Structure 1
Amino acid sequence: MPSLFKRSLLPKLRSFPMSADAISILSSAAQFRQCLLDHIASARQRITLVALYLQQDEAGQEILDALHAAKAARPELEIVVVVDWLRAQRGLIGAGKQPGNAAWYQAQTAAHSSEVPVYGVPVQTRELFGVLHLKGFIVDDSVIYSGASLNNVYLHKFDKYRFDRYHVLRNKPLADAMQRFVVEDLITTKAVHRLDVPQLPSTRSLRSAIGDLRSSLKKAAYDTREATTGYFGLSVSPLLGVGKNNPLSRVICELIASSQQQLTICTPYFNLPLPVTREINRALERGVKIDIVVGDKTANDFYIPPSEPFKVIAALPYLYELSLRRFAKKHQRMIDSGLLNLHLWRDGDNTYHLKGMWVDDRYTLLTGNNLNPRAFRLDLENGLLIDDPRREWLEPRRQELASIFAHTRRIESYKILETLEEYPAAVAKFLRRVSRVRIERLLYRIL
């Protein structure tokens, strides 16, 4: 269809041709953990792990031990771990004062003869206003792409898991492009420093360098000189985004605008940016069937049972549910008609972290982007857009969607979602206070 955007990016994207058998979808967090460990053990040239954090716990230790073992066995291996600078230097939210993962990285480097450098990327001077939210693990010529970070629950090390998406794309030019960005646009800049060595510079001393890095990232893009344009076959396009009106955000809106029959959206935190809401409304008006899958509030990674002491962070799942309820109420007519389908995901005590889009039978977006204002303006995000104009990859795609919907229930009416009056007393009290001082709108912009 003709583009609805004056400066459309979608038709101009450069892409790397793929074969259908070069893309694998992993079905579970445990399978993802084993896949990552197997790739690390068999690596021959390079390993680059990029995640929000590598946690000091049993699963994190397993990953770091595997990296050191691979480096000891093959000293010529190029190994790099990249995490968020600020996230690595604080403890878990709500757990009190802790030294953070950086102290663990330093102890691990001191304890091993092999070297596995861990770099911290400061996207902003304060974590609240932007973090490294890039995804993708590059091992030789493969890209293992997931929204997951590296810890016990994301890797299903014990009894609980956090459900995400897990894809393996075997494509050397794609792996090269993603590796080149990490090396040339991140770790060689003045703002980025190793976290696994002592005497880290203060974030304050890096303020100027961080400003320069953020400015350069707003203009950065993956090197796609080896990619093609106008290729009418299965292909993948890597996308970057940070700041207002960035390419990834623009493509997300264009994808929704291009939908004609079916659109599926996954997000763990229901807090859609205005441009996304606007395009969803337009798609409904032209008769597109839309499925939106979000986590039940109890499946949110910030959820704390009412039986436990209240922490401010525990209000977030309820804030997202209120947003979902307002959206459902406004669109109840579309829900009744079956054109709009809102689904809540829940599987026992496990949590939900899926994000991404499926557009008609053609486009599939893999991304860590939460489709919220924070992702559209503050964090450094990326995504892989799979274009399948010949319908070569429909069955794996269908199977992935079936696995996602397996633990969902459809919201028949906005009335089944709880109201403020039904929330635990401490949560309701906090949310009323937030509403009274009129900072609720600000919270939606940064959370």
Structure 2
Amino acid sequence: MNKLITAPARLAQRMLPFRRQPKTSPALEALPFFAVPAHAIEVLRDSAAFRGELLRLIAQATRRIVIVTLYLQDDDGGREVLDALYAAKARHPALQVSLFVDWHRAQRGLIGKQKCAGNAGMYREYAARMGAGVDIYGVPVQGRELLGVLHLKGFVIDDDVLYSGASLNDVYLMRHGRYRLDRYHVLHHRGLADAMVAFVQRHFLGSDAVRLLNVADVPATRTLQPAIREFRQDLQRASYEVPCETLGPADVAVTPLPGFGRSDNALNEALLALLRGTRERVILLTPYFNLPRPVRLVLGQLLRRGCSIDIMVGDKTANDFYIPPGQPFKTIGLLPYLYENNLRRFARGHRAQIASGQLNVHLWRDGDNSYHLKGLFIDDDVAVLTGNNLNPRAWTLDLENGLVLRDPARLLHAKHQAEWAALKRHATRLSDYQALESPRHYPAVVRKQLKRLNRTRLDRLVNRLL
């Protein structure tokens, strides 16, 4: 973060995206899908239920556990999951247990903390103490963490898919009284589970760039650079193997989609096509208000067409980078203020729609807990489950995925309505852009840093990369 602030302005110009014409999106009706019975799709109510379901599924596993997440932290929550994985392997020696985390994130400490071996040190300690059987791989999506990370999601346990944007640590698993709210869904479907595992086996295990982290001899990142370049090229062509099934009267069409890179990004194209096809209403969830330009343009078009839009975002105090007054300030603490400024500009530009009720911006806050929701509800028959933050970084740099749920019979409508109602319990509708804290009232250190960013136009680069 400090390096970004001191970088020359010309670097920002070089790294900002080119003005490209959007490509024509494929017809959504042509997307292949799994016909999943509606009763086989569950919505978990909170992070405590997520933790309980994850541990229950691990304890019952007999064939395979394949977990893909940004990180598994060296704390009580992470160790609880690791203990459960090793115990499951001990009960069933033939059980396949594989965990995939971001290569860079696993080998550093927390931002602003003392330099250390990171979570990989815990992985190696467990392997030395507990023995082999739990394979933990690092996935280097880019050569450097700043330029992109593994943001693919999915916990496949036997024939169940537990899908959430959450990673694995104390706060995501609601340990010690605090939580970071995400969305949590369970889909009981063997075909979908097989497809998600096959993607990992084909593209991750088939790459020389993806290496075990819980072994003594872990190669340096610099030695993997040629393999990482090949890996990126493969990811840009990657897709899930999805059949062309027939949708029954009690089924929901579920399509898994990967997303990587600025062009030919299947997930991005599907998200834009879904938004453009809105008939009446969109609900958009994002933890960091920093929408990609194509998404902002489509939302503007929907408002002009008369569609209703609800956006839920965390209050800046519910951001995981927020530093409360009185605590030592670190540069990373600027991010919640940058996102709030983005929201303020957006709300000011659409103040007429906010006043009329056509546009509703909901700010989520619940004590000292944090907010990490992402996804879409469109009309009453489409939902998107994803780890995609709907920001420029997710749009172009990180490896993402999502599940598109098309529900023409509205079989999931009651579950989605209940989920939305539960989310709104801790949210307040923004009445006007002036209801947000004015930058003039920010702490002095924040005002000073923001002024430096604005003067060099580096705020645009920061928004793109973080």
TM (normalized to structure 1)?
Answer: 0.97
Do structure 1's residue 334 and structure 2's residue 334 form an aligned pair?
Answer: no
Q: 2:415 aligns with which of 396, 412, 415?
A: 396
Do structure 1's residue 314 and structure 2's residue 333 form an aligned pair?
Answer: yes
Describe the SS at the equivalent of 2:131: coil
Alignment of 1:80-91 (within 5 A): 80-91=98-109
Structure 2 letter corresponding to 1:373: P
RMSD, matched Cα: 1.3
Mapped partners of 1:6, 1:86: distance in 2: 35
Q: 1:234 aligns with which of 248, 252, 261?
A: 252
Mapped partners of 1:378, 1:251: distance in 2: 17
Give the structure 2 partner of residue 287 of structure 1.
306
Alignment of 1:31-110 (within 5 A): 31-110=49-128
Mapped partners of 2:27, 2:392: distance in 1: 20
Does the 8 A contact of 1:89 with 1:100 survive in 2?
Answer: yes
Which structure 1 residue ranges, 4+ long, deviate > 4 Å from structure 2? 229-233
Describe the SS at the equivalent of 1:234: strand
Q: 2:454 aligns with which of 418, 435, 439?
A: 435
Q: 2:141 aligns with which of 123, 126, 138?
A: 123
Mapped partners of 2:356, 2:282: distance in 1: 16
Q: CA deviation at 1:230?
A: 7.4
Give the structure 2 partner of residue 278 of structure 1.
297
Q: 1:219 aligns with which of 214, 233, 237?
A: 237
Q: CA deviation at 1:418?
A: 1.5
Do structure 1's residue 365 and structure 2's residue 384 form an aligned pair?
Answer: yes
Describe the SS at the equivalent of 1:158: coil
Structure 2 letter corresponding to 1:142: D
Structure 1 letter corresponding to 2:159: D
Describe the SS at the equivalent of 1:133: coil
Alignment of 1:177-256 (within 5 A): 177-224=195-242, 226-228=243-245, 233-245=251-263, 246-256=265-275
Q: CA deviation at 1:20?
A: 1.4
Mapped partners of 2:23, 2:138: distance in 1: 37
Structure 2 letter corresponding to 1:19: P
Structure 2 letter corresponding to 1:277: R
Describe the SS at the equivalent of 1:326: helix
Distance 1:9 1:107, change over 3 A: farther
* Percent identity of paired positions between Structure 1 and Structure 2: 51
Q: 2:343 aligns with which of 301, 309, 324?
A: 324
Mapped partners of 2:136, 2:76: distance in 1: 18
Structure 2 letter corresponding to 1:394: H
Give the structure 1 partner of residue 156 of structure 2.
138
Q: What CA deviation, in whole Å up to 9, does each residue of 1:325-355 have, x standing for no partner?
A: 0000000001011100001000010000000
Distance 1:82 1:173, change over 3 A: same
Describe the SS at the equivalent of 1:335: helix
Do structure 1's residue 25 and structure 2's residue 19 form an aligned pair?
Answer: no
Q: CA deviation at 1:408?
A: 0.4
Mapped partners of 1:323, 1:168: distance in 2: 33
Structure 1: segments with no counterpart, 5+ residues: none
Structure 1 letter corresponding to 2:464: R
Does the 8 A contact of 1:71 with 1:114 survive in 2?
Answer: no
Structure 2 letter corresponding to 1:40: I
Mapped partners of 1:159, 1:126: distance in 2: 34
Describe the SS at the equivalent of 2:245: coil
Structure 2 letter corresponding to 1:273: P
Q: CA deviation at 1:114?
A: 4.5
Q: CA deviation at 1:188?
A: 2.6
Q: 2:393 aligns with which of 374, 392, 400?
A: 374
Structure 2 letter corresponding to 1:445: R
Does the 8 A contact of 2:275 with 2:378 survive in 1?
Answer: yes
Q: What CA deviation, in whole Å up to 9, does each residue of 1:31-70 have, x standing for no partner?
A: 1001000000000110011100000100101100000000
Q: CA deviation at 1:187?
A: 2.0
Describe the SS at the equivalent of 2:207: coil
Q: CA deviation at 1:81?
A: 0.4
Give the structure 2 partner of residue 421 of structure 1.
440
Does the 8 A contact of 1:144 with 1:167 survive in 2?
Answer: yes
Do structure 1's residue 10 and structure 2's residue 62 form an aligned pair?
Answer: no
Mapped partners of 2:46, 2:65: distance in 1: 22
Distance 1:227 1:59, change over 3 A: farther
Do structure 1's residue 300 and structure 2's residue 319 form an aligned pair?
Answer: yes
Mapped partners of 1:7, 1:418: distance in 2: 39
Does the 8 A contact of 1:5 with 1:254 survive in 2?
Answer: no
Does the 8 A contact of 1:271 with 1:320 survive in 2?
Answer: yes
Q: What CA deviation, in whole Å up to 9, does each residue of 1:183-235 have, x standing for no partner?
A: 111123100000000121111000010000001100100111x3437778512
Does the 8 A contact of 1:296 with 1:344 survive in 2?
Answer: yes
Mapped partners of 1:299, 1:179: distance in 2: 34
Describe the SS at the equivalent of 2:299: helix
Alignment of 1:343-354 (within 5 A): 343-354=362-373
Mapped partners of 1:138, 1:376: distance in 2: 25
Mapped partners of 2:458, 2:32: distance in 1: 41
Structure 2 letter corresponding to 1:158: H
Q: What CA deviation, in whole Å up to 9, does each residue of 1:217-273 have, x standing for no partner?
A: 00100111x343777851200010010131101111111111111100000000000
Q: CA deviation at 1:438?
A: 1.6
Give the structure 1 partner of residue 185 of structure 2.
167
Structure 2 letter corresponding to 1:89: Q
Does the 8 A contact of 1:124 with 1:214 survive in 2?
Answer: yes
Describe the SS at the equivalent of 2:346: helix
